[in-house]
Amino acid sequence: MNEKFEPELAWFKEIYPEGILLNTSTVISGPGGSGKPIIAYALASEWLKKGGKIILFLTSTTYKYTNEIFKVFGIDLEKNKDKVFVALFNPTLREISNIAENIVEANFLYPEHWDKVITMGKNYFEFPEDVFIIASALNLLYFSPTYKDIIQEKLKEMVLNYKEDTLIFTLNSQAYKQYAKQLEDLSDNLMISEMQRPAKLLVKAIKGKDVPVVPEKLVHVPIPQNVLLELKEKAEKGRTHLVPILKKI
C-alpha cells in the first residue's frame, strides 16, 4: 500500500482524517474564482515543509505572484529553489525555453512538453523521489480549438495512469463541463471548492482512493480575504489575456 500524505491542516483533516495516498491523482474542481489553486498550494506548502519537492505548472499566474501565495503558508519559493521547479505557460512556444536555473517556459498545449518538464524537474532535483506535480487553471487549455482534445487525452492519461509521483490538478468545472467531469471521474481523489461572499473559501471532499473520507462536508479554508480577492483578480487578468490567444491556436 502507498504511503500517506497527512498535511498539518485542520480543515484538511476534517475531510480526509487520515490524509491521502502518495502517488495518486487529486483533482480540485469548482466554479471560476473559487480559490482552487490556493487549496493546491496549501497542500504543496505542507509537502515542502516535510522535505518534499514540487513541480509547478503555472497556466495563468506569474511565478512572482504564485510565490506571494506560498508565503501565506510560510513558504518562500525563492528560499526553496532546490526543491521547486517551475514551468510557465507560453502558448506561442514550440520548444521549451529556460528562464532561470529552476524556471522554464513551456507550451502546455503540447503533450510532450508535460513529459519534458517533468523530466527536467527531476533532473534538476538532487534526489528526484517524493515529487508533487501541481498544475492549475487547466480548463484554459480547452479554449484552443486545435489542441483541446489532444491535451485532454494527455491530462486524462496522467490522472488515470501516472503513478510515479503525486498529481494535483485544478480546473474550472463550469468551463467545458464535459472535459472537467472526465478528469473528475478519473481522479483518485476529488475535492470541490466554492466561494461564499464576500470572500470565504470552502471545500468538500467527494472521494478518496483507499482512505477514509468525510464526503460532502463543507469546511472553511482560513485564508485572508485580501489574498482570495487578489487571486480572483489575477486569475481573471490571466484568463482575459490568454483566451483570445488560445482561441486562435
Ranges assigned E (strand) in the chain = 4-5, 20-21, 25-30, 53-58, 84-89, 97-100, 103-106, 131-135, 166-172, 189-196, 200-207, 219-221
pTM: 0.92
- List the chain pLDDT tens, one digit each, 249 residues: 479 999 999 999 999 999 999 999 999 998 877 778 999 999 999 999 999 999 999 998 889 989 988 998 999 999 999 999 999 999 999 999 999 999 999 999 999 999 999 999 999 997 777 799 999 999 999 999 999 999 999 999 999 999 999 999 999 888 888 999 999 999 999 999 988 877 788 999 999 999 999 988 999 988 888 877 777 777 777 677 888 888 888
Letter string b/e over residues 148-157, b meaning 16 or more CB atoms within 10 A of that residue's CB? beebbebbee
Domains with residue ranges and CATH for the chain = 4-246 (3.40.50.300)
Q: How far, in Å, are 130, 152, 207, 227 from residue 55 at the CA level? A: 11, 20, 24, 23
Per the DSSP assignment, residues forming a β-bridge with 58 are 88
8, HSE (Cβ side, Cα atoms, 13 Å): 8
Per the DSSP assignment, residues forming a β-bridge with 172 are 30
